[in-house]
Amino acid sequence: GNSVTQMEGPVTLSEEAFLTINCTYTATGYPSLFWYVQYPGEGLQLLLKATKADDKGSNKGFEATYRKETTSFHLEKGSVQVSDSAVYFCALSAGTSYGKLTFGQGTILTVHP
């Protein structure tokens, strides 16, 4: 079956530090890959996505590249802000699953001033 594994958290950084959250996946076929973000007390919001190998998704300074050879989709940001503090979820959607998302376990990010 499909699965997503994220690096364990929580992650604590100082403002302007570099962020990497690792994500690897197992899937049949060619899944679409997503990063969702959940701010405190809110629902999930799409952060970025990639639908085929070597695609790079980007939004709000965050980037992730779909690497088929390493089955990875690591999230990066060059300079984090306090407002980036949230829970980040890596997810995949396989082609015939009616959009069903399989999520990783989530990584809690806290950014200090």
Q: Which residues in this chain contact another protein in the complex, by CB under 8 A? A: 32, 34, 36, 38, 42-46, 49, 51, 87, 89, 93, 95, 97-103, 105-106, 108
Q: Which element (helix H / strand E) includes 102?
A: strand 102-103
Question: C-beta of 102: minimal distance to another protein in Å?
Answer: 8
Q: Single out the residue of 89, 105, 102, 110 nearest to residue 37, CA to CA.
A: 89
Question: C-beta of 15: minimal distance to another protein in Å?
Answer: 23
Q: How far apart are CA 73 and CA 80, in angstroms?
A: 19
13 versus 108: smaller Cβ distance to another protein: 108
Contact present, 91 and 4 (Cβ < 8 Å): yes
Question: C-beta of 16: minimal distance to another protein in Å?
Answer: 26
